[in-house]
Amino acid sequence: MAEERETPEHEKQERVQKALARMGYGSRREIERLIGEQKIRINGQLAKLGDHVKAGDKINIGNRRAVISSDVGRIRVLIYNKPEGEICTQKDEKGRKTVFESIGQLQSGRWISVGRLDINSSGLLLFTNYGELANKLMHPSSEIEREYAVRVNGEVTDDIVKRLLKGVELEDGLLKFDSITDGGGQGANHWYNVTLKEGKNREVRRLWQSQDVRVSRLIRVRYGNLTLPRTLKLGRKTELSLDEIKALFDFVKLEWPESRDAMAKQRSDKAKNLSIKNQLYGSGSRAKTSRSGGGHKHKAGLRKKAKSVQSKVKSKHR
């Protein structure tokens, strides 16, 4: 019986939304929405839900172009401490600063924001270039817990806390906090830490407002297993290490692509070899300067010696 031929990487096919999400062009849901709006073409043809692509296929996503690759480059995840006043969109018609301007662009692919924070909120905001991870972190079925530090203005009674934990019927359904912890404070302003597993628009603010309690500060301090580092200042970012990214994959039950380990080892070995070379020989420019300087010294010494010999010959003839 003949053995089955394993399909080469460049011949493997996958659904267009999965491929583009893997390459960092958006979450699967976002790609599906763009397909529905007829904004994606595959090799010149309008894409349909369920269409498959393979490595080398040319994709148009609105005004952007992409070529399907069999694998995406290095998987990256950022934690950004968003300040108030920045908005979570790629561009703003009113000219307001966006979080994407603050974190900078990637050479290939793009950053995907994991959820959003409104303009008046601050704190932990996650970005990744790996769409599958972003999709897992945002999808309601994952039930990823978010934690917020909230400063409220107004009296918060035990009955209000009970109602917020039991659930409040709002225009988009029954919303509730999973936990409410007293964070201290004086006078009318008081801090609470709240957790919930959904990411509906302005959910935390709307829940408190339903009880006639005004939110004056809102800071996201945790998303799943990732906590906002105390040393990370507002408007600054920090990148997760390979081990931290792997732990995040485990947390959301997403299979880690083994090819990443080989790629990471190659980068590590290259950096290590470069470091050893620099320690032994110095940087190329310094080594060149050193050799060049040594040559000038040697030539100067020869000229001086020649001049000395000529002087001796002249004095002898005299």
Q: Which long-range contacts (CB under 8 A, 24 or more apart) does 28-37 make?
A: 28/131, 28/132, 28/135, 29/135, 29/138, 29/139, 31/131, 34/61, 34/62
Catalytic residue list contains 118 = yes
Q: Is 47 helix (H, G, I), strand (E, B) or coil?
A: coil
Cα–Cα distance list, 170 to 158, 173, 195, 207, 212 (Å): 20, 5, 18, 8, 14
Q: Which residues contact 88 (CB under 8 A, 6 or more apart)?
A: 82, 98, 99, 113, 116, 117, 118, 125
Q: In this structure, what token pair is assigned to residue 179?
A: 């936990």
**Phi and psi at residue 43, in whole multiples of 5°?**
50, 40
Distance CA 81, CA 76 (A): 17
Any idea of the CA torsion for 212, 214, 220, 222, to the nearest 10 degrees?
-40
Distance CA 61, CA 40 (A): 5
For residue 273, the one-letter residue type is N
Distance CA 142, CA 147 (A): 16
Catalytic residue among 71, 118, 172, 178: 118
Enzyme catalytic residues: 118
